[in-house]
C-alpha cells in the first residue's frame, strides 16, 4: 500500500524526456488536454539530461532514446538504477530487436513502445504501468507492518526488529524478500543501538528540499545489518526538541515503500502530523502493550481513538508483550486479557528478559541467541501467515507479457 505520492495532490504526473520535436508535440497533444494529467516535458537527449532528470513528482516517466547508441542505453541503465521500482519507466525507441528487448528487460523498464506511436497506445501504456498510484497494486508496493506503543517500554522496538527479521527470512527456498525497518522514534530511537548499527539518516539534509530524496540518496542513508535487513534510523539527539516536516516524512515513507517488499515501522508514542498517514498506509497495525490493568486500558483507548480518527481502515490489533501465564498468581490471566480487549486482542508474547537482553547486547536477532525460542514462535504465528498469503500473488511484468506475445507471432 502506498502512503501518497505527494501530499498536495492526487494528480497523475507524466514526465516525458525527448529530443524529438515531433514526439514532443504529439505527447503535448495527448496529455496536454486533460486537467487530471500534469505533463512535464524535458527536452534533450537521455545521455545529456538523464542524470539530472527530476522524477520525484512523476507517476510515469516516458524516456525517448536512441537505443542504437551505447551511451543512450548506458544513461537509461543509470536512470533506472537511480529510480528503483517507482515511478515506472516507459522506453520509446526507434529501433527494436531482441538485444534491445533483453537489455530493457534487465533494466526493469516497465514497458516500451516503438515509433511511430499511436496516441492511444501511449495513453494505455502509461495508464497500465502507472496504476500503482491508486490503492491495491501490491506488485511494486510494500506490505507495511506498523508497531505503535500503548505505554512506554512495552517492547515496540523489540517486536518491530524481530518482525522485520522474520519477514526478511520468509522467502524459504526463494530469494529473501527485501525488508526495511524504519525507526520513526526520532528523538529516542533504539533500533540502531539494539542492532549495533550506525544510524545514517540525516533528515536535516533532506528537509530543505524533500524532492532531492531519491533512491540514490536513500541508499546513502540506509544502514545494513549483517542479516541483510535495511534500517533507516537517525542519530539520537536527546537534548533537541524537534519534529520533522510532514512532506519530508511522507517522501521518505513513499520511497521506502516503493523500494522494498516489506516495511516495518517502529513508531513513537507522540502523535505527529505524519502519524495518520503512516497508520492509513499500513497493512498491519499492531498496538503493543503489557499485561497490567493500566496497560490494557491504554491499549483499549488507543484502539478506539484510532477508529474514531481514521475510520475502520487501519484495523488496530493489540499485542500484549511480556506475558506470563502463572497458574496460581494474582496476575492477569489470558482470559482476563481477552475479556478486556475483546476482538482487538491478537497475541500474547511471552516474557523472557534474559533472552531479549542478550540479543540486544550482542546486536543480533532472538533466533540467533536461542533458535526456536518462545517469543519468535509466537510472533511467527502472528506475522507470517499474512506474509505467506502474499507470496505467489505476482503478476507478470507487462514487458515480459509483451515479449511472449511477440515471440508467439
Ligand atoms: N518479550 C519480552 N520479554 C522480556 N523482556 C522484554 C520483552 N520485550 C521487550 N523486553 C524488554 O523491555 C524493555 C523495553 O523494550 P523496548 O523494545 O525497548 O520497548 P519500547 O520500544 O516499547 O520502548 C527492554 O529492556 C527489553 O529488553
Ligand atoms: Mg522503542
- Ordered mean pLDDT values, 10 residues apiece, the chain (409 residues): 42 89 88 77 95 90 94 93 87 87 86 85 79 42 92 96 93 78 89 93 84 84 90 83 75 85 94 88 94 95 94 90 79 90 96 94 91 95 77 41 36
**Can you give the residue range of the structural domain that contains 39?**
12-136+396-408
What is the pLDDT, as a whole number, of residue 342? 95
Strands 223-224 and 60-64: unpaired
Q: Which helix (H) or strand (E) holds 174?
A: none
Residue nearest ligand 1's atom 25 by CA? 357
The answer to whether residue 4 is domain-embedded is: no
Supply the pLDDT for residue 379: 96
Of 228, 202, 36, the residue nearest 126 (C-alpha): 36
Co-location of 241 and 99 in the same domain: no
Q: Is residue 1 part of a domain?
A: no
The cell 490503492 sits on which residue? 135
Q: Looking at ligand 1, which atom is closest to the CA of residue 158? A: 17
Write the CATH number for 166: 3.40.50.300
In this predicted structure, what is the pLDDT of residue 190? 93
Asked if 97 and 162 sit in the same domain, the reply is: no
- State the DSSP H helix or E strand holding residue 200, giving kind and residue range, or none if neither: none
Mutate to test the pocket of ligand 1, among 161, 355, 356 (most ligand atoms within 8 A of CB): 356
Ligand 1 pocket: which of 151, 153, 360 to mutate (most atoms <8 Å of CB)? 153
Together in a domain, 290 and 208: yes
State whether 90 and 164 are in the same domain.
Answer: no
Three-class secondary structure of residue 147 per DSSP: strand
Ligand 1 pocket member 348 (CB < 6 A): no
Q: Strand pairing partners for 321?
A: 290
Q: The C-alpha cell of 8 is what?
A: 498536495
Provide the pLDDT for residue 123.
Answer: 80
The answer to whether position 3 is within a domain reads: no
Tell me what percent of the chain is helix, strand and coil, each rounded to the nearest 5: 45, 15, 40
Regarding whether 151 and 113 lie in a shared domain, the answer is no
Residue 79 has φ and ψ, to the nearest 5°, of -65, -45
Spatial separation of the C-alpha atoms in residues 306 and 171, rounded to whole Å? 32
| Ligand 1 centroid distance, CA of 276 (Å) | 25
Ligand 1 pocket, residue 188 CB under 6 Å:
no
How high is the pLDDT of residue 391? Answer: 54
Residue 136 φ/ψ, nearest 5 degrees: 80, 15
Cis peptide before 116 (omega within 30 of 0): yes
Domain presence at residue 175? yes
Query: Does residue 7 form part of some domain?
Result: no
| Residue of the CA atom closest to atom 9 of ligand 1 | 155
pLDDT value of position 12? 77
> For residue 404, what are the contacts with CB-CB under 8 A and spacing of at least 6?
none
Do 363 and 404 lie in a common domain?
Answer: no
Q: How, if at all, do strands 223-224 and 230-232 pair?
A: antiparallel
In a shared domain, residues 194 and 101: no
For residues 201 and 114, state if they share a domain: no
Phi then psi dihedrals of residue 213, to 5 deg? -75, 105
Determine the pLDDT at residue 2: 42
Reduced to 3 states (helix: H, G, I; strand: E, B; else coil), residue 148 is strand
- Count of CB atoms situated within 10 Å of the CB of 32: 12
> Same domain for 299 and 153?
yes
378 and 348 in contact (C-beta within 8 Å)? Answer: yes
Dist. CA 101–CA 344, nearest whole Å: 50
Q: Is residue 215 located within the same domain as residue 277? A: yes
Q: What angle do CA 349, 354, 358 make, to 5 degrees?
A: 105
**Is the CB of residue 148 below 6 angstroms from any atom belonging to ligand 1?**
no
Nearest to 337 by CA among 281, 291, 388, 306: 291
Is the residue at 255 inside a domain? yes
For the CA of 321, the nearest atom of ligand 1: 1
Residues 260 and 337 grouped into a single domain = yes
Q: Domain for residue 320, yes or no?
A: yes
Angstrom distance (rounded) from CA 168 to CA 176: 6
Kindly state if the Cβ of 225 falls inside 6 Å of ligand 1: no
Locate the ligand 1 atom nearest the alpha carbon of residue 190 and give its number: 18
Give the C-alpha distances (Å, rounded to integers) separating 113 from 123, 148, 281, 302, 397: 11, 46, 33, 51, 15
- Verify that 171 and 36 share a domain, yes or no: no
Going by C-alpha positions, the residue among 225, 232, 231 that lies closest to residue 206 is: 232
Cis upstream peptide for 87 (omega within 30°): yes
Q: Please count the structural domains in the chain.
A: 2
Q: How far apart are CA 361 and CA 120, in angstroms?
A: 60
Does this model's pTM top 0.75? no
Distance 156 CA to ligand 2 centre (A): 5
User: What is the 3 state secondary structure string of 354-403?
Assistant: HHHHHHHHHCCCHHHHCCCCHHHHHHHHHHHHHHHHHCCCCCCCHHHHHH
Q: Which ligand is nearest to the CA of 152?
A: 1
357 lines ligand 1 (CB under 6 A): yes
Task: Look at residue 116 in the predicted model and tell me its pLDDT.
Answer: 87
The CATH number that applies at residue 16 is: 3.40.50.2300
Whether 375 is in a domain gets the answer yes
Amino acid at each position: 500500500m502506498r502512503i501518497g505520492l505527494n501530499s498536495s495532490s492526487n494528480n497523475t504526473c507524466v514526465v516525458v524526456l525527448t529530443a524529438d520535436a515531433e514526439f514532443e508535440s504529439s505527447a503535448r497533444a495527448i496529455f496536454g488536454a486533460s486537467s487530471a494529467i500534469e505533463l512535464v516535458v524535458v527536452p534533450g537527449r537521455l545521455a545529456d539530461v538523464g542524470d539530472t532528470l527530476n522524477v520525484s513528482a512523476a507517476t510515469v516517466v516516458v524516456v525517448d532514446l536512441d537505443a542504437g547508441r551505447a551511451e543512450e542505453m548506458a544513461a537509461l541503465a543509470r536512470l533506472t538504477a537511480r529510480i528503483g521500482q517507482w515511478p515506472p519507466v516507459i522506453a520509446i525507441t526507434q529501433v527494436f530487436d531482441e538485444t534491445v528487448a533483453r537489455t530493457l528487460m534487465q533494466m526493469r523498464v516497465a514497458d516500451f513502445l516503438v515509433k511511430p506511436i499511436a496516441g492511444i497506445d501511449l495513453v494505455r501504456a502509461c495508464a497500465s504501468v502507472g496504476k500503482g498510484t491508486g490503492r491495491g497494486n501490491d506488485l511494486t508496493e510494500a506490505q507495511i507492518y506498523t508497531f505503535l506503543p500503548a505505554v512506554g517500554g512495552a517492547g515496540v522496538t523489540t517486536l518491530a526488529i524481530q518482525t522485520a527479521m522474520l519477514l526478511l527470512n520468509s522467502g524459504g527456498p526463494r530469494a529473501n524478500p527485501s525488508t526495511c525497518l524504519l525507526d520513526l522514534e526520532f528523538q529516542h530511537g533504539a533500533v540502531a543501538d539494539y542492532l549495533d548499527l550506525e544510524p545514517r539518516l540525516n533528515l536535516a539534509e533532506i528537509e530543505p528540499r524533500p524532492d532531492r530524496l531519491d533512491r540514490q540518496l536513500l541508499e546513502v542513508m540506509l544502514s545494513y545489518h549483517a542479516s541483510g535487513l535495511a534500517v533507516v534510523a537517525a542519530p539520537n539527539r536527546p537534548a533537541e526538541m524537534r519534529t520533522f516536516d510532514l512532506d519530508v516524512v511522507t517522501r521518505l515513507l513513499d520511497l521506502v515503500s516503493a523500494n522494498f517488499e516489506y516495511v516495518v515501522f517502529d513508531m513513537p508514542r507522540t502523535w505527529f502530523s505524519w502519524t495518520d498517514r503512516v497508520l492509513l498506509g499500513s497493512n498491519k497495525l499492531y498496538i503493543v502493550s503489557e499485561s497490567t490493568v493500566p496497560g490494557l486500558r491504554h491499549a483499549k483507548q488507543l484502539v478506539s481513538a484510532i477508529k474514531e480518527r481514521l475510520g475502520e481502515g487501519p484495523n488496530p490489533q493489540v499485542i500484549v508483550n511480556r506475558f506470563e501465564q502463572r497458574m496460581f498468581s494474582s496476575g492477569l490471566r489470558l482470559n482476563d486479557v481477552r475479556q478486556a480487549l475483546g476482538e482487538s486482542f491478537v497475541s500474547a508474547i511471552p516474557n523472557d528478559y534474559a533472552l531479549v537482553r542478550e540479543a540486544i547486547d550482542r546486536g543480533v536477532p532472538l533466533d540467533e541467541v536461542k533458535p526456536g525460542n518462545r517469543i519468535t514462535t509466537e510472533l511467527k504465528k502472528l506475522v507470517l501467515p499474512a506474509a505467506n498469503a502474499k507470496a505467489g500473488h505476482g503478476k507478470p511484468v507487462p514487458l515480459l507479457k509483451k515479449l511472449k506475445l511477440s515471440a508467439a507471432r
